[in-house]
Structure 1
Amino acid sequence: MKKKSLLLMLTLLLVLSAFLAACSSGENAEEPAENDTETETPDDGTEDEGSEDDEASGEAQQGGTLTYGVDSAPEGLFNWAFYGIVTDADILALFDEGLIQYDENLAPEPNLATWETEDNQTFTFTFEEGVMWHDGVELTVHDWVFALETIADPDYDGPRFANVQTIEGAQAYRDGEADSISGLNVIDDYNIEVTFDKARVNNLVNVWAYPMSRAQFEGIPVAEMSASEQVRTKPVGLGPFKVDSITPGEAVIMTRFDDYWKGPANLDGINVQVIDNTTTVGALGNGDIDMISLQPVNGEEVEALDNVEVVTYPGLSYYYVGFKLGTFNSETNEIVEDKEKYADVNLRKAMAHAIDRQTWIDAFFFGYGSPVNGPVPSSHWIAADPEELATYDYDPEKAKELLAEAGYEDTNGDGFVEDPNGEEFVAKFSHYATGNPTFETRAQAIVQFWQEVGINAELEMAEVNLYYDMIEKDDPSIETFFGGWGTGADPDPTALWGSDQLWNYPRYKNEESDKLLADALDIEIVGDDQEARKDLYVEWQKMIAEDVPMIFIAQLEEIVALSSRVENVEYDVSGANSPHEWSIAQ
Structure 2
Amino acid sequence: MKKSKLLGSVGVVTAAALALVACGKSGNDNSGANDAKKFPAATPKKAAKQGGTVNVALESDTPFTGIFSDELQTVSSDSAAAAPGNESLFDTDDHYKINNKGAATMKLDRANKTVTITVKKGVKWADGKQVNAKDLEYPYEILANKKTQAQRYSSQLEEIEGMKEYHEGKANKISGIEMPDGENGRTIVIHFKEMKPGMYYSGNGYFREAAAPYHYLKDIPFNKLQSSDQIRKRPLTFGPFKVSKIVRGQSVTYVPNKYYWRGKPKLNKVTVQVVSPNSASQAIKSHKFDIAQVINSQWNQVKDTKSVNFVAQIPLSYNYLAFKVGKWDAKKGVNVMDKSSKMNNKSLRQAIAYGMNVAAVDKRYTQGLSFPVKTLIPAQFGDYHDSSVKGYSYNLKKANQILDKASYKKKGKWRVQPNGKPLKIKLLAMSGNSTQEPIIQNYIQQWHKLGLNVSLTGGRLTEANSFYDKVQNDDPSVDMFLAGWNLASEPSQASMYGETSPMNYSRFVTSKNNKLLDEMDSQKSFNHKYRVDKFHEWQQYMNDEAYVVPTSNAYTVTAVNNKITGFSTKPSQNNNGHQLWYQVGYAK
Please confirm whether the aligned pair reaches a TM-score higher than 0.5, indicating the same fold. yes
Note the 1:144-223 alignment, pairs <5 A: 144-162=136-154, 164-188=157-181, 189-203=185-199, 205-206=204-205, 207-223=207-223
1:440 is paired with a residue whose SS is: helix
Aligned-residue offset at 1:57: 11
SS at 1:309's partner residue? strand
Task: Report Cα offsets for 1:479-516 as digits up to 9, x if no partner.
Answer: 11000013221100111111111100111111121121
Shift of 1:236: 1.0
Q: Displacement of 1:115 after TM fit?
A: 2.3
SS in 1 for 2:121: coil
Match of 2:103 in 1: 112
> Hey, what does 2:300 align to over in structure 1?
300
Contact residue 325 and residue 343 of structure 1 kept, 8 A? yes
- Secondary structure of 2:297's aligned partner: helix
1:542-557 → structure 2 map (5 Å cutoff)? 542-557=540-555
Rg larger in 1 or in 2?
A: 1
- Where does residue 446 of structure 2 map in the other structure? 449
Whether contact under 8 Å (1:319, 1:485) holds in the other structure is: yes
The aligned runs of 1:240-279 (5 Å cut-off) are: 240-279=240-279
Could you list the per-position Cα deviations for residues 242-275 of structure 1 after superposition, in whole angstroms to 9, with x for gaps in the alignment?
0001001221010011210000001111011222
What CA deviation, in whole Å up to 9, does each residue of 1:86-142 have, x standing for no partner?
111122221021222222111112322112233172122222112211122221011
> What is residue 64 of structure 1 aligned with on the other side?
52
1:129 lines up with 2:115 in the alignment: no
Separation of aligned partners in 1, 2:453 and 2:509: 27
> Percent of counterpart pairs with the same letter?
25
> Cα distance, 1:278 vs. partner?
3.1
Corresponding residue for 1:424? 422
The amino acid that maps onto 1:366 is Q
Q: Counterpart in 2 of 1:375? A: 376
State the distance in 1 between where 2:394 and 2:281 align. Answer: 34
Q: Using the TM superposition, name which of 273-282 and 123-132 deviates more.
A: 273-282
Task: Quote the offset at 1:34 in angstroms.
Answer: 3.4
Give yes or no for contact 2:281–2:294 (8 Å, CA) kept in 1: no
SS at match of 1:543: helix
Indicate the residue corresponding to 1:386 in structure 2: 387
Q: Secondary structure at the match of 2:253?
A: strand
1:526 maps to 2:528: no
Post-superposition shift, 1:390? 4.2
Unmatched 5+ stretches in structure 1: 1-27, 36-55
Distance 1:341 1:534 in 2: 34
Quick one: distance in 2 between partners of 1:276 and 1:511? 44
Where 1:271 maps in the other structure, the secondary structure is: strand
Gaps of 5+ in 2: 1-13, 22-43
1:4 is matched with none
Amino acid at match of 1:184: I
Counterpart position of 1:3: none
Q: Which moved more, 1:300-309 or 1:181-190?
A: 300-309
Query: Judging changes above 3 Å, is the alpha-carbon distance between structure 1 residues 577 and 340 closer, same or farther for their aligned structure 2 residues?
Result: closer
CA RMSD of aligned residues (A): 2.0
- Distance (whole Å) between structure 1 residues aligned to residue 17 and residue 542 of structure 2: 24
Report the Cα offset of residue 369 of structure 1: 1.9
Q: Distance between the aligned counterparts of 1:343 and 1:299, measured in 2? A: 39
Cα separation, 1, equivalents of 2:442 and 2:379 = 25
Deviations 1:381-436 (A, max 9, x none): 2444332x24322111111111111111112x2x22111122221221110124x2
Closer, same or farther: CA 383–369 of 1 in aligned 2, 3 Å: farther
Equivalent residue for 1:439? 436
In 1, distance between residues paired with 2:364 and 2:120?
50
Deviation, structure 1 residue 537 = 0.6
Change over 3 Å in CA distance of 1:198–1:385 after alignment to 2 = closer
Relative contact order: is structure 1 or structure 2 higher (C-alpha 8 Å, sep ≥ 6)?
2
Q: CA contact under 8 A between 1:303 and 1:309: conserved in structure 2? A: no
**How far did 1:29 drift?**
5.7
- Asked if the contact 1:443/1:459 (under 8 Å) is kept, the reply is no
Q: SS state of the match for residue 415, structure 2?
A: coil
Cα distance in 2, alignment partners of residues 467 and 400 from structure 1: 30
- 1:218, distance to aligned residue in structure 2 (A): 2.3
For residues 383 and 486 of structure 1, do their structure 2 counterparts lie closer, same or farther at Cα, with a shift above 3 Å needed?
farther
Residue 367 of structure 1: how far off its partner (Å): 1.0
Give the whole-Å Cα distance in 2 for the aligned partners of 1:407 and 1:59: 68
Q: Aligned with 1:202: secondary structure?
A: helix
Paired position in structure 1 for 2:37 = none
SS in 1 for 2:477: coil
Q: Which residue of 1 aligns with 2:353?
A: 352
Between 325-334 and 195-204, the greater mean CA deviation after superposition: 195-204
Segments of 4+ moved more than 6 angstroms: none
Corresponding letter in the other structure for 1:252: V
Q: CA deviation at 1:576?
A: 5.2
Shift in CA distance, 273/232, structure 1 to aligned 2, threshold 3 Å: same
- Name the residue aligned to 1:33: 19
Q: Distance in 1 between matches of 2:302 and 2:496?
A: 34
SS at structure 2 position matched to 1:69: strand
CA contact (8 A) 2:17 2:319 kept: no
Aligned to 2:147, the other structure's residue is in SS state coil
Q: Quick one: structure 1 residues 385 and 364, their matched pair in 2 at CA, closer, same or farther if it must change by over 3 Å? A: same
Aligned residue pairs, count:
533
Q: Following the alignment from structure 1 to structure 2, what is the Cα–Cα distance between the partners of residues 29 and 152?
A: 28
Cα distance, 1:532 vs structure 2 = 2.1
Q: Once the 2 structures are TM-superposed, how far is the Cα of residue 229 of structure 1 from its aligned partner?
A: 0.8
Name 2:332's counterpart in structure 1: 332
1:490 equivalent in alignment to 2:493: no
- Structure 1 residue 285: Cα displacement: 2.2
SS at 1:331 equivalent: coil
Whole-Å separation in 2 of the counterparts to 1:422 and 1:311: 54
Structure 1: how far apart are the matches of 2:192 and 2:569?
33
Mean Cα deviation higher: 548-557 or 261-270: 548-557
Mapped contact 1:382–1:538 kept (Cα < 8 A): no
